[in-house]
Structures are given as structure tokens and as C-alpha cells.
Amino acid sequence: MKAIVSIIMGSTSDLPVMEEAAKILNDFMIPFEINALSAHRTPDEVEKFAKSAYSKGIRVIIAGAGMAAHLPGVIAAQTHVPVIGVPIKVSLEGMDSILSILQMPPGIPVATVGVNAARNAGILAVQILAAGDETLNRKILGFKGTLKNKIIQANKELANIKYPYKTN
Amino acid sequence: MKAIVSIIMGSTSDLPVMEEAAKILNDFMIPFEINALSAHRTPDEVEKFAKSAYSKGIRVIIAGAGMAAHLPGVIAAQTHVPVIGVPIKVSLEGMDSILSILQMPPGIPVATVGVNAARNAGILAVQILAAGDETLNRKILGFKGTLKNKIIQANKELANIKYPYKTN
Amino acid sequence: MKAIVSIIMGSTSDLPVMEEAAKILNDFMIPFEINALSAHRTPDEVEKFAKSAYSKGIRVIIAGAGMAAHLPGVIAAQTHVPVIGVPIKVSLEGMDSILSILQMPPGIPVATVGVNAARNAGILAVQILAAGDETLNRKILGFKGTLKNKIIQANKELANIKYPYKTN
Amino acid sequence: MKAIVSIIMGSTSDLPVMEEAAKILNDFMIPFEINALSAHRTPDEVEKFAKSAYSKGIRVIIAGAGMAAHLPGVIAAQTHVPVIGVPIKVSLEGMDSILSILQMPPGIPVATVGVNAARNAGILAVQILAAGDETLNRKILGFKGTLKNKIIQANKELANIKYPYKTN
Amino acid sequence: MKAIVSIIMGSTSDLPVMEEAAKILNDFMIPFEINALSAHRTPDEVEKFAKSAYSKGIRVIIAGAGMAAHLPGVIAAQTHVPVIGVPIKVSLEGMDSILSILQMPPGIPVATVGVNAARNAGILAVQILAAGDETLNRKILGFKGTLKNKIIQANKELANIKYPYKTN
Amino acid sequence: MKAIVSIIMGSTSDLPVMEEAAKILNDFMIPFEINALSAHRTPDEVEKFAKSAYSKGIRVIIAGAGMAAHLPGVIAAQTHVPVIGVPIKVSLEGMDSILSILQMPPGIPVATVGVNAARNAGILAVQILAAGDETLNRKILGFKGTLKNKIIQANKELANIKYPYKTN
Amino acid sequence: MKAIVSIIMGSTSDLPVMEEAAKILNDFMIPFEINALSAHRTPDEVEKFAKSAYSKGIRVIIAGAGMAAHLPGVIAAQTHVPVIGVPIKVSLEGMDSILSILQMPPGIPVATVGVNAARNAGILAVQILAAGDETLNRKILGFKGTLKNKIIQANKELANIKYPYKTN
Amino acid sequence: MKAIVSIIMGSTSDLPVMEEAAKILNDFMIPFEINALSAHRTPDEVEKFAKSAYSKGIRVIIAGAGMAAHLPGVIAAQTHVPVIGVPIKVSLEGMDSILSILQMPPGIPVATVGVNAARNAGILAVQILAAGDETLNRKILGFKGTLKNKIIQANKELANIKYPYKTN
């Protein structure tokens, strides 16, 4: 089994956030790897990883980072595999990581998701991989159904709230 | 008894905030319904709800949502019943939901209230319904009196604070 | 002909923005008045206006203001007629007026629209008045159709853009 | 003993912040009063207070408020007694109250201090009153000395921190 | 020739920004279509588009919008084709559109790029499509080379700047 | 004639903003001086000025500065004469100067006015000086009347706007 | 042993943040001193310190401050020893101290590091001192190696996470 | 003549800002080089530059970048030569580049100066180099004198402004 998606984080302190991406990939039975790499502390390893990612079989990279979050952009600069960036909230409500990941210069896009939204990063990775993969397509459509079911469930809970002037 | 106001929220996690609107409507004896709908997870149900709201007798909609809060605007796009939007604070101090609800494009207004201000949304709904309803008019004027009474009460508490150079 | 909607602004420098509300009301043939009042410079006149608005026949108030924009909130404090607040951009990208109008304390809501969105304020006023007025209902539905037509027109323009790999 | 300074707050929930102003005035033996008034809930009382403040002997007003904080500006609009505004942090890190108090329109200034800085508001009131009052002048100069003493004390504490390469 | 990428914008006023995406796709010889759709003005057309996109052959959607920018999220809610969101600067320096597109709720990701960064959206679309397409892979690698050449060219220009103490 | 108010600015580039304060003081016939001083470039002169201000007869200081605006706070640290701070917009919409002036530490208040609001700083200085000066009191009350007259004038202009459904 | 680096803070409440700088200097065996000084409460001491710092042998100054953080800039104005500024988070997520330290006017730079980043301030001081000091050079290169080791350690921890579809 | 300072920018569009640093270095007769390098477009060249900078004789690096400004941090990660970061304003008032440069993770500081403050970056470089270089020390002290002279000149201009109640 060879990894198709690579999840990268700067340190294990990012794991509670980033593990949500791993769970989604696992649920969709997509082989993935998880590694710690730092744009600032291990630039050579980042370079090696980014340059070999495509030939190793990686088709989507998910990179999470906080503060002046350079990791997603620095990886994106050295590979043409699509990079999904997850801004992690460490300081300033996460606004520093949002802007450091999102506002990439012309030529080097990073597909940014919301603050701490590693789960959404995982789903986006599945959507990217689903093109031309009928099994994944069916699974992702099923997944959307479960989202809807949560709303149906929520409505049942709301039905239990009683007020004299509540009509439903 | 048919609902005149519809309270919509994206999930039951919004209930502690949104229930404040329900309490106000109940206090004013205005029939209302509460439902969970999601602009993103149940777009068809949102559409069905919005398009039939007026003919079902709904005259004001109160919609609360957090983060990239699309629900109030998406409902407003599909009905001419006035929509009151309640930005719910989930991340970024609620600034994301404020701007996602407030900054609607020309043609599709949402009547936005403050962050987590579901109680004010309920009062605004009453004010909208009070036009031409003498009973509601009298009630809302009485309600304003109670606001004033709280200040009078506050003054009594402040009178109990003692300093040598405090003169009242 | 007696005014049903009152448009209030702090000075004539706000007129280029606020006139958009007037145009909408005129298009919908809703009688309206326009006045200049200032929460800070003419507080007595604001009070007199707000307290007599309902009995004079006003059913919606549209108030625009910039900077520390107190006018909509101060009017809302003295009437139960719904007040639509229009934050006008003068400084700080308009963020000061947004927050000064939106973040009203419990009990005194202002129905806030986007920065400089006086046109949307006018449409919201029409939507509020349309409850129970079949003629207005039909008109506002027709108006929504024209919004759609602009998109259809936009699509025609886009069809004229030619690229070798553009397929439509 | 007649009050020279008036401390105003919107509700008793602001008391823990605003009491710092009272303590300073008391320490300087300046007669003061404390009242609860709301720009939105008791506009008539605010007007009455503001219009009679000067003739009653009030020479400085300290007004604290949170969110869309209109109280200081609304008072300043109805008196020429200088108004010191204290933005109270309730939501959005207090940025809404800062801007609602600070960004007053031409003609109606409010002397704004920092978020929750009621103690500084009290000191500013003393400084304003000290003009031409030799006793207050001496006291305020003595007070500045105590600020300096805190730093001297802090230095003693820092002297106790020991590191091999720390030289003092 | 059937479109693989669909570029969507809310109105033709967004065209000067969004055309950059079209140019990139054309340069890479990827068939694409351009349409105007509005989350608020043509919700039915948005739904029809989103639900049929995959079966029509669309594999990436690029959606640009300004202000309370709901279009990318509303499309993403109704298809599993990856949606790239382009925040367009209309007001508030574009911060409203950034947050309205980026901060999507769990389950419905939008791959957000920087403010007005339609060119980067086009490149990201190419990167997504390049997985398993050797021709595109070679092209995108060549494209990265041209980015590098611009820097080399920039260095030549900088070499022409003369100062006595400049050494290169 | 000895100056009672001192206007300080960091450089002559601030003059177009700060001259509004001078005009107000001149209109109220209050003797004033204008000087350029910099917290950073002439710290010794700032110290000399601040320490001698009271004994020279200065009763209010108006200090304007942009960016990391330290001038008002540094002066306030070295005198007990009240300091009015004017944040001047140079960068970041003026938010840097607002926060650098407003958020002073405990013990050293600066009476901050809005961005570029030197005119309001002048009026605040007059209000501070008016305590116990009957002539100034009468003048400042007259000045408030002129503010009101502008609104009356504005109303006349608004009366000239004609729409079929405008009622006034 | 004479101090080469001087760590300055406004009060002992800043010590938990600023001590991180002391630890780094101690680890690198660089003699340093720690003092409390306040731009506002002890301006004379700040002046004396700044003006004598170079002749006393100080080659780098690290100054931390919160809110309207003037200390680093005021020191920088009175010495040509490089000043590293540490914005300390007290209010507004630390944005007030960032801007008060960073946005210095032309001629008086402060080398600003991130919010509460006293440890980075210490490392920057070491880097500045390392120029021409072979021992420090070797030590700082060794220090970079330990940063890398943390990542290697993090990877080992990540290797222990087990999912069926995790490949490493 | 070998360069001691290296000025780096991402593209020649940054030259009008960054040239201010060159002018300062030239005025102080400090040999310097200017190059274009991009963290994203030429990561290998950035690495080569950073790793060889110290041994080539570079003692200070000045790096300017806009938007998601990774260049200063990426260089700082690969050398122990101090890096001065200049946030360049391209979008969002420059707040994206400020945060991307300032908020570096523990271990990798960047000495950040204000938005577009390349001149201050040059001066900071001189201050860093002046340690132990008596000639530079004398020059930088002379430079501070010229800053003071500008204020003296400004005062002469202000003396020319005439008002009846201006006393100087």
C-alpha cells in the first residue's frame, strides 16, 4: 500500500488539529502518510519531500501550520502536487496563519481552508482524488448524505423544545 | 395556531444562543416555529422552506449561523419575507459571521443584529410585526418600560456603594 | 399622501449614499420623507422625531451615519418603529460605523445592512411593508425577477469572450 | 459637599471596571457621584443629566459603556462639560466600544481612554481639575512619584533573579 | 471539445479579475466554460449547475465573488467537484469576501486562494487536473521554470543599479 | 499674551491636520503656541517642554502623531497638564496611531480623539478651559448652536430633492 | 563580568514572558543584565540608561512592553545600540503592542519580534553578537541542530499513530 | 570591496521601496549587494544564498517581501546571519506581510521593521554593524543629529504661521 496523500505538520503540538484530516482519509480508505517537517527548522527535508512527492505517488499534500505559517507555501513552491493549507490557531485568533497561507504570490497557489479546519482539508483531498474514481465518487456522495442526516437529527431535537407559542 | 415567525439555525449547537429569540417571541405570545436547516448541508430544504414561507403565513424569519454564515443570505435570496440574521461567534471573535451576513450584495438585504444577539433579533421581529397591530404595540411599549426599570434598579445598587467623597 | 418610511441622515454629505434608498422607495411608490437629524447636534429634534414617528404614520425608519454612528441606535431607543441602520464609510474602511450600529445592547435592536448599502436598506423597508399588502408583494416578486435578468444579461456578455479553449 | 465629577455607567455589570475611577477620585478627595444611565434605555434621563450637569457643579463627566457604546457621545452632545469615555470590553476584544466612543463626528469630542481603563479616566479627571488648584497640583505630582516607586520596587525584585551570566 | 473546468462569477463586474483564470486555462489548453451565476439572484440556476457539473464532465470549478461571498460555498454544498474560491475585493479591503469563502463549516470545504488571485486559482486547477496526466505534468513543470526566469531577469535589472558602495 | 494651550506635532507634514486645532483655538480667542517636537528625534526637548509646561502657564496640550505615535504618551508621562492625543493617519488606516495613543498604561492617561480629529481636539481643549470661565462658557454654548444650524441648513437642501413619492 | 545585553521590561508582570530571553542568553554564556524601566513612569531613568548603554559596554538591548508599548521606541530614540522590541500581549490580542513597537517613524528602527516572543528576541541578540565571534558562531550553529532534532523526535511520535490506511 | 550587507527582494516591483535601504548603506559607505530571490520561485537559490552568506562575509541581510511574505523567514531559517524583514504593502494595507514576517516560530527570529520601512531597515543594519566599529559609531551619532535638525527646521516653518492668538 503506497500513500496517495501526505499530511505534514510542523510539530506534534499540531497533531490534535491535524489528526482530523487523517481520520477522514482513513474513513475513505485512502492510503496516507503523516510526517513532521518544518519550513524553518528542516528546510532541506522539506525540499527533499516536496521534490520527490509526485514521483513517490503522492497526489495531494495537506500541510498545517500556525503563526507565520510558511510550510504550505514553501512546499507548494517545490512541487506541482496540489497543496491544501490548514491555518492553525496559535495566536492573534489565527489571523496570522490565515494570511501567511492564503495570500500566496502569483504562480504558487495554496488551497487554503478555514482556521483549524483539518477535517475539511481531508474532505477536499478526497474530492480532488475522486475525479475519475467511481468508488470514491459514490463514497463522497454517501458522505454528503450523512451531513444531511445530522440536520434531520437536529430537527428532531428541536421538536422536543416546548413553548406555549411554539407551533412545531 | 399557525407560526408567524420562523427561527432557523444550522445545528443544535446554535440552540443556546438562538433560544433567546424563542423566549422573546413566546413572551409576546407570537406563534413561532424552530427548525434546523443548513445552507450547505440541506440546500434543497432551505429552498423549499424559503419559497413556501410567505404562503405558509411566515412574516419574519430569524436565521442564525456562525463562521462563513451563508444561511441568512441564502434564505433571503429565495423569499421576500424579511430575514433577520444573527451572527454566531464560533471563531475569529465572530467577525467572520458578522461580515458573511452583513455584507450582502445589492438586491438581497439581511437585517443583521449584533454577535450572538438572538434576543435582539426576537425583539426586532416583534417590532416588525407590531405595525398595525395595536395589542403588540402596547406590549412593546410596556417592554421598553421594563428596560428602563433595570436602570432604575441599577441606580439603587450604585447608591449602596459608599466612599467618603461619594456624594450620592 | 402621508409618509410611511422616513429616511434620516446626519448631513447632506451622506446624501449620495442615502439617495439610493429614496430611489427604491419611489420606484415601489411608497410615500417617504427625507430629513437631516444628528444624534449629537440635534438630540432634541431626534427625540421629537422618534417619539412621534409611529403616531405620524411612519412604519419603517432608515437611518444612515458614519464614524461613531449613533443616529440609528439613538432613534431605535426612542421608538418601537423598526430602524434600519446604514453604516456609511468615512474612515477606517467603514468598520467604525458598522460596529457602532450593529453591536447594540440587549433590548434595542437596529436592523443593520452592509457598508453604504442604502439601496438594500430601501429594499428591506419594502419587504417589511409588504407583509399583508398584496400589491407590494407582487411588485417585490417582480423586482427579484429583474435581479435575475441582470445575471442572464451578464451571461450573454460572457458568451462574447473568445478563447481557443473556451467551450461556451 | 457637592459632586464635581460624575461617573456614569450603563448598568451595574460595568461596576467592577468603573469603580476604579471612583477609587482614584476618592483618593484625591474629589467629591463625585455615581449613576447608572443608558443612552438607549433612559434617553430622557441622560438628556436631563447632561443639560443640568454644569449648573449642578459637575466639571468632568466619566462615562463607561460597552459594545455599540453611545453613552459618552450622547452625553457629550448635550453638555459642554468635558466627557471622558471608557470603552468597556464586552465583545470583539472591546474594539466595538473603542470605535463607538473614539470616532465622534466634528464638533462633539469625547476624551477617550484605553479599553477598561477607568483608573486612567479618574486620573485624567484629576489632571483636568488640577488647573489652578494648587493642592491638587501637589497631590498629582506626589502620585506620579508613587508610579516611579513601583518601578524601583520592580527592579529590586528583578535583582533577586539569579543566573550564572546575569550581571546585576 | 467539452469543458473540464467551469469558471463562475456573480456579475460581469468581476470579469477583469476572473479573466486571469481563463487565460491560464487557455495557455494550458484545458477546455473551460465561463458563466455568470449568483448564489442570491439565481439560486435555482446555481443548484442546477452544481448538481449536473460532474456528470457534464466538469472536474474543477473556479468561483469568484465579493462582499458576503456565498457563491463558492453554495456551489460546494451541491457538488463533490472541488471548488476553488476567489475572494474579490469590493469593500473592507476584501476581508469580508476572504472570511465568507474561507471559513466554511465542517463537511463543505472550499479551496480558497488570495484576494483577487484568479490567476492562482487557474494554476491550482491545472495542478489538480495534472494528477495522472503526463502532458499537463510536463507543462506545469515548464511553467514553474518561467517563474524562475522572471527572478533571473529581475536580477539583471538590479545589476544595472549603480551605487559607489554596491558590490554587484 | 501668554499661551494657555500648546499644539505639538512631530513634523510639518502633520500641519494640514493639526492646523484645524489652531483655528478653533483662535476662533475662541485662546492664546496658543505651535511647536514641532519628536518623541524619538528630540527626546530632550520633549522632556524640557513637558516639565516646564505647567509653570509656563500651559493648561492643555494637544499632541498629534502618526504610525507608532509615542509623542502624546511621552509628553503625558512628564507633566500633569492634560494631554489630548490626535492619531494621524499615515498607514494601516490610522489604526497604528489610534492604538499607540489610546492604550496607555495605568497612571498615564492620554485624552484620545478620533483619527485626524484635530478640530475636535481643539474643541475639547476649549471645553476643559471653560470650567469656571463664564465668557468661554457662553462662547462654547453659542458654538453648539452653530452645529445645530448646519443641520437646519441641511434639511433645507434635502427639501429641494424632488421625487413623486417624497412627501416633504 | 560586564553585561553585553540589557533586558528591559516595564514591570515585573512582564517577567514570565521576558525571562525566556534571559534563559537563552544564559545558555549562550552571554553576560546580561535585567532591569525594570518605564517610558512613562521613569522617563529620566530610561534616558540615562539609553544614553550610557553603549559606553557601559551594552551591544544589544531587548525591551518588552504591552499595550501602547513605547519603551522599545523611546530607548531606540536615545541610543544607537540596536533595540529588539518584544510586543507583550495584555489586551486586543497584543495587536496594540505590535503596532506601537513595529511602526516606528523614519530614522528610529526597532527590531520587532512576534507577540510574547522573548525567546526569539534572545536568539536574535545572539545572532547579532555572533558576527566576528567564532565561539558564538559555532554555538548558534549547534543550536540550530537541536531545533532540527525536535522535528526528528516529532516524526518518531507520529510514527506511533496507527490507522489501517496510514502507510508510515 | 566585499559586500557586508545583502539586500534581497522578491521582484523588481519591490525596488522603489527597497532602494531606500540601499541609499542608507551607501551614505554610510557600507559595501552591499542587491539581489532578487524568491522563497517560492527560486527556493534552491535562496538556500544557496542563505547557507553561504556568512562565509562570503555577509553580516546583515535585509529581505523585503509582500503578501504571504515568506522570504525573510525562509532565509533566516538557513543562516545565523541576522535577517531584517521589511513588510511590503501590496494588499490588505500590508497586514498580511507584517504578520507573515513578524510571527516567526520559536528559534527563527526575523528583526521586523514597519510597513515599507526599508530606510529603517538600512539604519538598523548600520546600528548592528556599528558595534565595535568606531568610525560607524561616530557616523551614526552624526546621523541622529540630522534627524534633530529636521525638527528644528520644522519649528522655523511653524513660526511663520500667523494667527492673532498664536503666541510664538
Which range among A20-29, A119-128, D135-144, G62-71 shows the weakest confidence by mean pLDDT? D135-144
Average pLDDT value for residue range G125-133: 91
The rounded distance, in Å, linking the Cα atoms of E116 and A33 is: 33
Q: Do chains A and B touch (3 or more CB pairs under 8 A)?
A: yes
Contact indicator for B94, B64 with CB cutoff of 8 Å: no
* Burial label, A155 (beta-carbon count in 10 A; 0-12, 13-18, 19+): middle
The rounded distance, in Å, linking the Cα atoms of E78 and B151 is: 50
The rounded distance, in Å, linking the Cα atoms of A110 and A101 is: 7
Cell numbers describing residue H67: 503578501
- Alpha carbon G19 to its chain's center: 10
Which amino acid, residue A136? L
Q: Do B100 and E100 touch (CB under 8 A)?
A: yes
Please list the residues that pair with F61 across neighbouring strands. Answer: F6, F83
Cell numbers describing residue F117: 480629529
Cell numbers describing residue G133: 565571534
Of all residues in chain B, what percent carry a pLDDT higher than 70?
100
- The helix/strand/coil state of C78 is coil
Using 50, 70 and 90 to split pLDDT, how confident is the model at A134? confident
Rg (CA), chain D: 18
Could you tell me which residues of chain E have a Cβ less than 8 Å from any Cβ in chain A?
54, 59, 80-82, 84, 98, 102-104, 106-115, 117, 119-121, 123-124, 127-132, 137, 140-141, 143-144, 147
Q: Do H80 and G144 touch (CB under 8 A)?
A: yes
Cell numbers describing residue C39: 444624534
The pLDDT assigned to F82 comes to: 98
* Residue D64 to chain F, least CA–CA distance (Å): 14
Q: Do E39 and B74 touch (CB under 8 A)?
A: yes
* Residue E16 to chain C, least CA–CA distance (Å): 12
CA dihedral E25, A113, A60, H47 (to 10 degrees): 90
Q: Which residue from C93, C147, C163 is facing E41, i.e. has the nearest CB?
A: C147
Using 50, 70 and 90 to split pLDDT, how confident is the model at G10? confident
The rounded distance, in Å, linking the Cα atoms of G41 and D150 is: 9
Contact indicator for B69, E70 with CB cutoff of 8 Å: no
Of all residues in chain G, what percent carry a pLDDT higher than 70?
100
The DSSP output letter for D3 is -
Q: Is the pLDDT of residue D132 over 80?
A: no
At a CB cut-off of 8 Å and minimum separation 6, what does B28 contact? B126, B136, B139, B140, B143
Question: What ipTM did this prediction achieve?
Answer: 0.96
- The helix/strand/coil state of A97 is helix
The pLDDT assigned to C144 comes to: 84
Cα distances (Å, whole numbers) of residue B147 to B84, B115, C43, F23: 22, 20, 21, 43
- Residue in chain G nearest A37 by alpha carbon: G151
Q: Is the pLDDT of residue A132 over 80?
A: no
Give the residue, D41 or D19, on which the prediction is more confident.
D19
Average pLDDT value for residue range H98-127: 97
Q: Is the pLDDT of residue B132 over 80?
A: no
Average pLDDT value for residue range G30-48: 93
Q: Do E166 and H22 touch (CB under 8 A)?
A: yes
- The helix/strand/coil state of B128 is helix
Residue pLDDT, tens place only, B88-128:
999 999 999 999 999 999 999 999 999 999 999 999 999 99
Q: Do A68 and H38 touch (CB under 8 A)?
A: no
The rounded distance, in Å, linking the Cα atoms of C48 and C64 is: 18
Using 50, 70 and 90 to split pLDDT, how confident is the model at H58? very high
The rounded distance, in Å, linking the Cα atoms of B109 and E11 is: 18
Could you tell me which residues of chain H have a Cβ less than 8 Å from any Cβ in chain E?
1-3, 9-12, 15, 19, 22-23, 25-26, 29-38, 40-42, 45, 67-68, 91-93
Average pLDDT, chain A: 95
Cα distances (Å, whole numbers) of residue C70 to C104, E116, G168: 10, 34, 60
Contact indicator for C84, C111 with CB cutoff of 8 Å: yes
Could you tell me which residues of chain F have a Cβ less than 8 Å from any Cβ in chain G?
10, 38-41, 43-44, 47, 66-68, 70, 73-74, 76-78, 91-92, 95-96, 99-105, 107-108
Q: Do D168 and G12 touch (CB under 8 A)?
A: no
Supply φ then ψ for residue E10, to 5 degrees.
Answer: -75, -30
- Residue in chain H nearest F28 by alpha carbon: H165
Which amino acid, residue D127? Q
Cell numbers describing residue H56: 562570503
Q: Is the pLDDT of residue H147 over 90?
A: no
Average pLDDT, chain B: 95
Q: Which residues of C are less than 8 Å from D103 in CB distance? A: 67-68, 91-92, 96, 100
Using 50, 70 and 90 to split pLDDT, how confident is the model at D100? very high
* Burial label, B58 (beta-carbon count in 10 A; 0-12, 13-18, 19+): buried
Please list the residues that pair with F91 across neighbouring strands. Answer: none
Q: Which residues of B are less than 8 Å from E104 in CB distance? A: 40, 67-68
Give the residue, D41 or D73, on which the prediction is more confident.
D73
The pLDDT assigned to F134 comes to: 87
The rounded distance, in Å, linking the Cα atoms of G104 and G97 is: 12
Contact indicator for C104, C73 with CB cutoff of 8 Å: yes
Which amino acid, residue E97? S
Contact indicator for E79, A123 with CB cutoff of 8 Å: no
Q: Which residues of A are less than 8 Å from E117 in CB distance? A: 104, 106, 109
Which amino acid, residue F122? G
Mean pLDDT by 10 residues, chain C (168 residues): 94 94 97 95 92 96 97 96 98 98 97 98 97 88 87 90 94
Cell numbers describing residue G35: 532591569
The pLDDT assigned to B131 comes to: 80
The rounded distance, in Å, linking the Cα atoms of E126 and E109 is: 19
Give the ranges where chain B is alpha helix by DSSP (H).
15-27, 43-56, 71-76, 95-102, 118-130, 134-159
Average pLDDT value for residue range G45-49: 94
The pLDDT assigned to A125 comes to: 98
Q: What angle do CA C136, C141, C146 make, to 5 degrees?
A: 120
The pLDDT assigned to A37 comes to: 95
Q: Do F40 and G66 touch (CB under 8 A)?
A: no
Residue pLDDT, tens place only, D79-91:
999 999 999 999 9
The pLDDT assigned to C147 comes to: 86
Which amino acid, residue C125? A
Q: Which residue from A9, A41, A93 is facing G93, i.e. has the nearest CB?
A: A93
The model's pTM is: 0.97
Average pLDDT, chain E: 95
Cell numbers describing residue D20: 476604579
Contact indicator for F21, H165 with CB cutoff of 8 Å: no
The DSSP output letter for C116 is T
Q: What is the CATH number of domain A5-133?
A: 3.40.50.1970
Using 50, 70 and 90 to split pLDDT, how confident is the model at H134? confident
Average pLDDT, chain H: 95
Supply φ then ψ for residue C11, to 5 degrees.
Answer: -155, 170
Residue with grid cell 487565460, as numbered in its chain: E23
Which amino acid, residue A130? A
At a CB cut-off of 8 Å and minimum separation 6, what does D106 contact? F117, F119, F120
The pLDDT assigned to G148 comes to: 86
Closest CA relative to residue C129, chosen from C118, C137, C121: C137
Average pLDDT value for residue range F29-58: 94
Domain ranges of chain A: 5-133
